[in-house]
Amino acid sequence: DMASSSEESSQPKTALIAVGEAMLFKPTAEVLAEQIRQKEDMKDALEGKAEPGSLDVIHVVVGEKDLNRLFDADAITSYASCLKDQGGEMTIHLLCGDGNQAGEENMATVKMSFITAGLRLDQMVQGADGSFAFTGYKGRRDDESDDEDYDTDNDDKGTD
């Protein structure tokens, strides 16, 4: 609807969800920030705060030690609905601390949450401290050429 477009620009385009004590921060006007201390709170972190399709980027930060206790993979699916349909970006930061390696099982949990949320897992970057950042996208990325996904010339097939 046309009425909401004027105030839309002031809405945050980025959300940061910190799970457990992995990271403490102060929310700003530009960033929608939520701290999760209980697993059941994770899913609704953006409820009523971000409109469907309104966010460009969502960061989820979780310490590996908190993953099993606090991380709700289903929450990633509900967050994904808040991302814009074309090129919305989700990054899950798995913090290991003290130079520990991320466990295979924990990495699999994070990867799976992208798949179930319908996001394309695009990259995994390992930080110097052993932590990982997993980034996935919703829909097709802007830098992909148009004719890859959308075959626009196929509407003239079968017309003769």
Look at residue 124 in the predicted model and tell me its pLDDT: 95
Render each residue's pLDDT in the chain as its tens digit; 160 residues.
Answer: 444 444 455 788 999 999 987 666 676 788 999 999 999 999 999 999 999 999 999 999 999 989 999 999 999 999 999 999 999 999 999 998 776 778 899 999 999 999 999 999 999 999 888 889 999 999 865 555 544 444 445 555 555 5
Smallest Cα–Cα separation from 101: which of 73, 131, 72? 131
CA 125 to CA 25: how far, in whole Å?
23
Q: Token digits for 39?
A: 């697993």
Look at residue 144 in the predicted model and tell me its pLDDT: 55
Look at residue 4 in the predicted model and tell me its pLDDT: 43
Smallest Cα–Cα separation from 60: which of 131, 140, 142, 141? 131
What are residue 76's phi and psi, to 5 degrees? -60, -35
CA 54 to CA 56: how far, in whole Å?
7
Look at residue 143 in the predicted model and tell me its pLDDT: 58
CA 76 to CA 58: how far, in whole Å?
10
